[in-house]
Amino acid sequence: MPAPSPLDHVVPTDADYPDGVYRVVGTGDGTVTLLRVTDAAGRRAHTGELVSVDADTLDEFTTVDPPTTDRSLGTVVASSLATGYWSVRAFGGELRAHPRPTVVAVATALVGAVGDATTSLPGILAGGLLFAGCLALAYVGGGRLSTR
């Protein structure tokens, strides 16, 4: 087998390694580091399992095409909804953890949103306040103030 380059995919032909497709993630000093990216059935698996193989024993692997994504539409939608839920929950948690900056950001956004119609603020100033308030909310909610 020719010398692999990172992002090549291989499968073991010897029983000494768990079945599945491996991605080459590193080479050097006579070794090749592989990350297992599928299970024995060929389904993508995020195992984090790394295998270091001597470059001499890389003949026990054959080169293959990268595995395809086989997620159904229902799985993709469910995953997106779950990710959205946890993102909103984390955003709200950050806002609750920093009440003063949150109140200032919300007040600034509200003044900008209603300032053009209810006060004598020029439109450009109201738009700027709305933009600054929304940007401040994103900054606080995105966890930029956390020191964890």
pLDDT band at 147 (very low <50, low <70, confident <90, very high): low
Stretch 27-34: mean pLDDT: 86
Give the residue extent of every domain in the chain. 9-64, 73-141
| pLDDT at res. 103 | 97
| pLDDT at res. 15 | 63
Residue 31 or 2, more confident: 31
Closest CA to 43 of 75, 90, 6, 1: 75
Distances 35 to 32, 42, 117 between C-alpha atoms, Å: 10, 14, 59
* Residue range 65-117, pLDDT digits in tens: 888 776 788 888 998 999 999 999 999 999 999 999 999 999 999 998 887 67
